[in-house]
Amino acid sequence: MRIGIDASRAFEVERTGTETYSYQMIRHILQLPEAGKHEWYLYVKSQAPSTNNQIIFNNQAPNTKFIQIPLPFLWTQTGLAARTWIDKLDCLWVPAHTLPLLRKPDLKTLVTVHGIEYEWLPAYESRLQRWYLPWSTIYAVKTATKVIAVSDFTKGQLVERLGADPARIQVVHEGVSFQALNPKHQYSIFNKFKIIPEKYLLFIGTVQPRKNLARLIEAFSRIRDHRGLRLVIAGKLGWQYEAVLAAPEKFGVKNRVVFTGYITDEEKEVLLRNALVYVQPSITEGFGLPVLEAFAAGVPVISSDGGALKEILNFSGFLFDPFETEGIKKSLELVLGNKKIRRELVDRGRERLKDFSWVQAARQTLKLFETL
């Protein structure tokens, strides 16, 4: 088969969850021996992938072509759409929601939906976007040959809220991948963020309302007997973040909350491996990749039960209601005050991690291509 992939997000310099998914899935699919049976067309934006990325991909799959579509606007609906005819594709995979409307008539399509959290985007305040964002997701799940949902929770939402056909949706969980750690860089990272190993709680993600960080900061300000602890919020500022940035001063912990901004992969790994506890307070998540990364780092996890998080943790973390600040506080105090509980959560997390693998996800996805 001649398979096209929307790789427009895979080579972003500052990758977040969806970009990480695209990069890791494409990379691991092309590393599979079975991938050699097919031709692969990777469509990227005007900024070409780095030489290192091309080497990683092309060494594994010589039958892979990078094709640049240098359009600043309507990239999917004009540029990508046109390539389905030009390159005579048999199949197109879009790793994030949006399918081109005008595409080759006999084209088989596969689309990954990560969740329907578009209500939380600032663009959703626009009347046009309130129509377009749900419509584009509905269109994808209604017209794609097959749909990948990254969790059972997301599949359930697509069926219940968007009327999707459950028979056309395959759940494929994400995996986790850590780079090799270079220990000599650890202390420069600690110094950069002014933290002490195992003396901080950690959250990783974009600072935005859905992540529920203002409540986390309030709960953190109330915990007893842990004055030496810091709360590290690692991730770039997204949207409507002003209340979060103001929360430390509001709740009297201005000097104990650290906002790192965007962090590199190496910084992320160092912060994870040396955190006392990882906290995921989100109101909703379609999956929750940082939780798996915390498991891999050997860190106990405290998490809300919002969205897919309860499914992903599956009794491997300590859960709380994201809307109850007092419940967040009590969960923090219980886990922070009990080494035995923390050790048990680490063991459970490592065991749970066995159920998630990029290689496994890649194999499941390649099989879907071949059965379209």
- In this structure, the answer to whether residues 170 and 305 fall within a common structural domain is no
Q: Is residue 214 pLDDT above 50, yes or no? A: yes
d(CA 148, CA 171): 6
- 162 and 202 belong to one structural domain: no
Q: Are residues 143 and 189 in the same domain?
A: no
Q: Are both 260 and 285 inside the same structural domain?
A: yes
Domain count across the chain: 2
Question: Are 34 and 26 contacting, i.e. CB atoms less than 8 angstroms apart?
Answer: no
pLDDT at 131: 46
Pair 22, 156 in one domain: yes
Share of the chain above pLDDT 90, in %: 72
Q: Are residues 189 and 336 in the same domain?
A: yes
Reported as a single tens digit per residue, the pLDDT across 282-315 is: 999 999 999 999 999 999 999 999 999 999 999 9
pLDDT of residue 124: 44
Q: CB neighbours of 34 closer than 8 A, spacing ≥ 6?
A: 363, 366
For 45-55, the pLDDT digits (tens) are 865 565 445 54
Q: Are residues 17 and 145 in the same domain?
A: yes
Mean pLDDT, range 11-26, rounded to an integer? 86
Q: Are 208 and 234 in contact (CB under 8 A)?
A: no
What are the backbone angles phi and psi of residue 368, rounded to the nearest 5°?
-65, -40
Question: Are 334 and 361 within one domain?
Answer: no
Residue 350, CA distances (Å) to 84, 207, 297, 300 in order: 42, 27, 9, 10
Each residue's pLDDT tens digit, 155-181: 999 999 888 999 999 999 999 987 656
Q: Could you tell me the CATH number of the domain that includes residue 188?
A: 3.40.50.2000
Task: State which residues form the domain around 87.
Answer: 2-175+357-370
Looking at the fold, whether 194 and 149 belong to one and the same domain comes out as no
48, 139: one domain:
yes
Q: Are residues 130 and 241 in the same domain?
A: no
Give the mean pLDDT of the chain. 89
Burial class of residue 148 (count of CB atoms within 10 Å of its CB; 0-12, 13-18, 19+): buried
Residues 116 and 232 in one domain: no
Q: What is the pLDDT of residues 270-284, one digit of tens each?
A: 999 999 999 999 999
- Of the listed ranges 4-8, 93-97, 134-138, 230-234, the least confidently predicted one is 134-138
